[in-house]
Amino acid sequence: MSSAGIPQQPTPERFLGAINAYQQTEAVKAAVELEIFTAIGEGNTTVAAIAKRCKASERGVRTLCDFLTIHGFLTKDGAQYGLAPDAAVFLNKTSPAYLGGAIEFLLILRVRESHARMTDAVRQGGSALGEGNLVAENPDWVKFAEAMMPLMVMPAQIMASELRKGGEAHKVLDIAAGHGIYGIFVAKQNPAAQIYACDWKNVLAVAEKNAKKMGVGDRHHLIPGSAFDVDFGGGYDLALITNFLHHFNPATCTTFMKKVHAALVPGGRAAVVEFVPNPDRVSPPTAAAFSMMMLATTPDGDAYTFAELEKMLKDAGFSRVEMAEAPLGVGRMVVAYR
């Protein structure tokens, strides 16, 4: 609401907006649950038509749709609502890029509860709920694997194609595979590649299902268990460590990457996907803000800068560390060479 360059009177609106920001969370969640975006995409553009399609009250639909318009998800022209471009692509269930289901992971109870105790987290420097979801076979990670896959398709495709430029991979370790989509796209781009996906057993069931569905099931192998404890075997020319290191402190990351280093062939690559803030730690906003998610939900994880990742990886024995220029959505890929 402020315009750059125009001096503003101090107003409490920023404070009130932030304090009430949870309303956006609840409104978008409600809209996904009620299929408001899908209803509008189908041509139900008035309050009455949307309410009928979504089995909701007209008063509730009117208020919700106005709120979604204020926050840029919908357009409003007279009494007609429409989908803003982002909502049409990502929030209409009939869109191939639909990712409304991600709320099933992003808003799980434990994440909300850990944030509700943010004052305690800031005091003690880590999640007020202790180990959080970093315990064995935690069902939250099955939800992650199922709910977050659509959000990862685009980054996984970019990653596989960037990695392909550096040479064909043959034996690929996919750590904390989750939905398995990162390894699956590497397999699709490297016809000779065998993927070894490591995650908790309950989570790997999701990766296995996805690998079969996407036609690479015969080259997709499972290593169930904790990535810290299981035997990876060796001879890998590529290891994928995607959205994993941010859960742990730098010493733990370094120790872990030594284990990965040992599993790689000489010249092998470790490809790390992370939210990577700039050295100022306040830009770009989404990557930098991810640090708060880790403060609230993990004992000592973080969003690491490139310099921090480079140090961990060099301390783990890697000879060269580079950040790929192409962003993977809000994430970045850092490649370390054995």
Scan residues 215-254 and list those touching a copy of itself (CB under 8 A). none
Binding flags for a copy of itself, 19-48, as an x/- string (CB under 8 A): xxxxxxxxxxxx--xx--------------
Cα angle for residues 99, 110, 144 (degrees, 5° grid) = 35
How many CB atoms are located within 10 Å of the residue 33 CB?
11
CA 139, 186, 317, 260 dihedral sign is positive
**Total residues belonging to the chain:** 338
Is 67 near a copy of itself (CB under 8 A)? yes
Two tokens, residue 21: 């920001």
Q: Which is nearer to a copy of itself, 73 or 200 (CB)?
A: 73
* Binding piece for a copy of itself, criterion CB under 8 A, among 79-87, 169-177, 252-260, 305-313: 79-87
* Binding piece for a copy of itself, criterion CB under 8 A, among 80-88, 131-139, 227-235, 240-248: 80-88
Smallest distance, a copy of itself to C-beta of residue 85, A: 5
Q: Which is nearer to a copy of itself, 33 or 137 (CB)?
A: 33
Determine the 3-state secondary structure of 9 from DSSP: coil
* Binding piece for a copy of itself, criterion CB under 8 A, among 7-15, 158-166, 167-175, 225-233: 7-15
Query: In this chain, which of 46, 101, 103, 164 binds a copy of itself, going by CB under 8 A?
Result: 103
* Binding piece for a copy of itself, criterion CB under 8 A, among 89-97, 201-209, 218-226, 316-324: 89-97
In angstroms and rounded to an integer, the radius of gyration of the C-alpha atoms of the chain is 22
Q: Is 91 exposed, middle or buried (0-12, 13-18, 19+ CB in 10 A)?
A: buried
Is 11 near a copy of itself (CB under 8 A)? yes
Cα angle for residues 20, 122, 285 (degrees, 5° grid) = 60
How far apart, in whole angstroms, are the C-alpha atoms of residue 55 and residue 38?
13
